[in-house]
Structure 1
Amino acid sequence: MPHIALPTDDPGIRGLFRFRPETAAPLNGLAEILLRGDSTLSRGERELIAAYVSSLNRCRFCHSSHAAFAAAQLPEGMELVRQTCENPATAPVSPKLRALLDIAAAVQRGGQEVSTGHVTAARAEGATDLEIHDTVLIAAAFCMFNRYVDGLGTHAPDDPAVYAAVAEQIVTHGYGSTTPAAEHSGPRP
């Protein structure tokens, strides 16, 4: 049960977005740019970074959501997501993506954990400054999203089909499609 009274029983961040739609819009906008905007990293790869960081943070809702979003956009599907989240060092991903996942894991531990060595290794595998920047920002943003979702005690469905259904919407329409209209009227409880 959430720590605060929400106007809906939508799980995870979706319920929080309905509680405070004015913060939902910029947060969804950030996710849209980072995970779906122009990039040399595929949408699936960026979702995989989000799923990986969420798994490191043990945020069940965000991990399950972004794992489904990544799987829907990667030819190797959920098996690659599972392998990557379990052990990126042995997962069948490109050396560049593996180096970026190392950066993401360092960010998850703390921003100052990202070393020149991490950046040098990613560049040696062909990562651009924009890819390094976006990886750091995806990891940092998902640490925030994960803490937002878990810090307010939202619930996470057990059924993978729930996440797959939302993945279809995100893949087709993007994150802006999940921003709730200003439905709440009157003072918040």
Structure 2
Amino acid sequence: MAHIDLDDGIPGLPSLLRFRPETAGALSALAETLLRGPSPLARGERELIAAYVSTLNDCRFCAGSHSACAAAQLEGGMSLVEQVHADPDAAPISDKLKALLRIAAAVQRSGKDVTAEHIAAARAAGATDVEIHDTVLIAAAFCMYNRYVDGLGTSVPPDPRAYAQMAERLVAHGYGSAAPGPDPR
């Protein structure tokens, strides 16, 4: 049960966007920019970073929804996403993405945990400054989104298959579609 008067029938972030429409536009625009806007990182890779950080933060709603979005956009689907969550260094992803996920994990602990060694390893694996920047910003933003969703005790879908339906809508229409309005389910 949510800590404030939310519609528990609408899980996670969408319930908060509907509760406080004054902040919904900015939060949705940030997610749209980070996960779907111009970037040298593919959309699926950016969703994977968001899902990985959300998993590290134990945010069930964000981990579920962004894992489904990553799976829908990456070759290897949910099996690949689950391998990354279990052990990114053993997962069949590029060395560059492994290095970026290490940076994301450091950000999840504390921004000050990102070291020169993390950056050097990412650059040695082919990461550009923009990719490093985008990784840090996605990780930092998802720490905020995760704490927002969990800090107010939002609900999670009773059926885990709902995440695939959310992902289908988000992949097709973007994060602006998560703003207040008719129930997207």
Identify the TM-score tier after normalising by the shorter chain: over 0.9
One-letter amino acid matched to 1:3 = H
The answer for the alignment partner of 2:99 in structure 1 is 99
Give secondary structure in 2 for the equivalent of 1:9.
Answer: coil
Give secondary structure in 2 for the equivalent of 1:160.
Answer: coil
Q: Within 2, Cα distance between the matches of 1:136 and 1:113? A: 11
Verify the 8 A CA contact 1:12 1:61 in the aligned structure 2: yes
Quote how far apart the aligned CAs of 1:175 are: 0.4
Q: Within 1, Cα distance between the matches of 2:32 and 2:116? A: 28
Quote how far apart the aligned CAs of 1:75 are: 1.4
Return the TM-score normalized by structure 2. Answer: 0.95
The answer for the alignment partner of 2:22 in structure 1 is 22
Verify the 8 A CA contact 2:8 2:154 in the aligned structure 1: no
Kindly indicate whether residue 67 of structure 2 is the aligned counterpart of residue 35 of structure 1.
Answer: no
The answer for the alignment partner of 2:109 in structure 1 is 109
The answer for the alignment partner of 2:126 in structure 1 is 126
Quote how far apart the aligned CAs of 1:103 are: 0.1
The answer for the alignment partner of 1:145 in structure 2 is 145
One-letter amino acid matched to 2:35 = L
Quote how far apart the aligned CAs of 1:160 are: 2.4
Kindly indicate whether residue 52 of structure 2 is the aligned counterpart of residue 52 of structure 1.
Answer: yes
Return the TM-score normalized by structure 1. Answer: 0.94
Q: Within 2, Cα distance between the matches of 1:159 and 1:6? A: 19
The answer for the alignment partner of 1:11 in structure 2 is 11
Verify the 8 A CA contact 1:44 1:70 in the aligned structure 2: yes
Give the alignment of 1:70-109 within 5 angstroms: 70-109=70-109
Residue by residue, what CA displacement relative to the aligned partner does 1:101-158 show, whole Å, maximum 9, x if unpaired? Answer: 0000000000000001000100001101000000000000000000000000111124
Q: Within 2, Cα distance between the matches of 1:128 and 1:158? A: 40
Q: Within 2, Cα distance between the matches of 1:158 and 1:177? A: 22
* Number of residues of Structure 1 aligned to a counterpart in Structure 2: 182
Q: Within 2, Cα distance between the matches of 1:177 and 1:118? A: 35
Verify the 8 A CA contact 2:95 2:125 in the aligned structure 1: yes
Q: Within 1, Cα distance between the matches of 2:34 and 2:65? A: 16
One-letter amino acid matched to 2:68 = A
5+ residue gaps, structure 1 = 183-189
Among the aligned pairs, what percent are the same residue?
A: 65
Q: Within 2, Cα distance between the matches of 1:158 and 1:107? A: 30
Q: Within 2, Cα distance between the matches of 1:178 and 1:57? A: 22
Give secondary structure in 2 for the equivalent of 1:6.
Answer: coil
Q: Within 2, Cα distance between the matches of 1:144 and 1:83? A: 25
Q: Within 2, Cα distance between the matches of 1:48 and 1:112? A: 22
Q: Within 2, Cα distance between the matches of 1:7 and 1:83? A: 34
Superposed structure 1 runs of 4+ greater than 4 Å apart: none
